[in-house]
Amino acid sequence: MGRHYCRRCNMVKPLLHGGDLVQASAVFGQPQTGWLDLSTGINPYSYPIPTIPDWAWQQLPYLNPQLLQAAQQYYQCQQLVVTAGSQPVIERLPQILISVGNQKPALIPSVGYQEHSLAWQQQGEITSYSGLIDDTKRINEALASGKIGHLLIINPNNPTGICYSPQQINNWAQQLSHEQGFLVVDEAFMDATPEQTCVSQKMPENLIVLRSFGKFFGLAGIRLGAIIASSRILETLAAVLGPWAVNGPAQAIAEHAFMDFPWTQAMAHKLVKEQSQQLQIWHMALAKLGAQLQADTPLFRSFALPTDLAKELHHKAAQAGILIRPIDIGDSTSLLRFGNIDLTQPRPLARCQEWLTSIG
């Protein structure tokens, strides 16, 4: 469960997220250990946990300089802070950026990771672009109007797969800089295609990039991420997050993983190579039901279909012990998002094929 902000009642209400096996088990009666969880987009080929040194458990978790160096090498950028996942940053960034930038509305995708929208709504007015298509024209027009203070890009968009080039992002950052505006780019699903990142050694001062460790490395439970930004933003954020933000075992694991270049290179290649095979598992059966392919990325794919049918398929999949992610996008249309299957294990694939046969 996440949260949803109701401006009229000034309350935060639950937001649904993938991966909530406790809730899914309560609703559908499946044992928690019996799920094939495809609802998150987390890499099923997780990084092997190294031996964790005693100090990681015993000492207060001040940031290990070796972890910072490893992260800087991995992301190819010096200006970053390691955090306990990107969620704490998402929650705090709007207030920080409004205080140091301007108070005009933020431009945010209507469809995308909704915690961003929630965080910005709690701080002020927002306006939107669809997130379902290439919205370059809409964003250009909004920025040219002078009415937009800040811009959020989810790159690639989760769940729509829309992705913008580094050049386009830098152009938008330059436009926003004239009004002391900031461009926030969420690259949670970028690791498998590093050539598409907008991270560089010479980023615009008003460009902020969020990165997730857990998705690509398949270790979402350790809660680790990074924010890449100017020193002013990083210092302000570090003060807000406080000391000991990342626990010791997470730091030890991440340092080892960031430095394991052979593994990261091989995994990125593996995910891209398997991408078409992962898509083929679902595409034909869902296309026969009228579903349209919306997104095809190395870690997830999404299909658009009528909401009633999406709910029915989600329910039937859950009854078969397969958890997928339905996302309403309006106009009686929803997306069904499917994460990757471990193709080295025959049983998960067989379960999916059995379910697809049953709905065909």
Q: What tens-digit pLDDT sequence spans the chain (360 residues)?
A: 444 544 444 444 445 678 899 999 999 988 888 999 999 999 999 999 999 999 999 999 999 999 999 999 999 999 999 999 999 999 999 999 999 999 999 999 999 999 999 999 999 899 999 999 999 999 999 999 999 999 999 999 999 999 999 999 999 999 999 999 999 999 999 999 999 999 999 999 999 999 999 999 999 999 999 999 999 999 999 999 999 999 999 999 999 999 999 999 999 999 999 999 999 999 999 999 999 999 999 999 999 999 999 999 999 999 999 999 999 998 899 999 999 999 999 999 999 999 999 998
- CA 261 to mean position of chain CA atoms: 22
∠ Cα 188 107 156 (to 5°): 25
Element containing residue 305 per DSSP (H, E): strand 300-306
The mean of the pLDDT values for the chain is 95
Task: State the span(s) of the chain assigned CATH 3.90.1150.10.
Answer: 4-46+263-359
User: What's the whole-model pTM score?
Assistant: 0.94
d(C-alpha 72, C-alpha 87), whole Å: 20
Q: Coil, helix or strand for 41?
A: coil
Domain 54-260 architecture: 3-Layer(aba) Sandwich (3.40)
Token representation of residue 319 = 């009854």
What beta strand segments (E) does 97-177 contain?
Answer: 106-109, 126-129, 150-154
Q: 36-37 and 322-323: which strand pairing? A: parallel
Task: State the span(s) of the chain assigned CATH 3.40.640.10.
Answer: 54-260
Burial class of residue 258, CB neighbours in 10 A (0-12, 13-18, 19+): buried
Pair 244, 83: CB distance under 8 Å: no
pLDDT digits (tens, 9 = 90+) for 23-64: 999 999 888 889 999 999 999 999 999 999 999 999 999 999
Token representation of residue 263 = 């593994």
Domain 4-46+263-359 architecture: Alpha-Beta Complex (3.90)
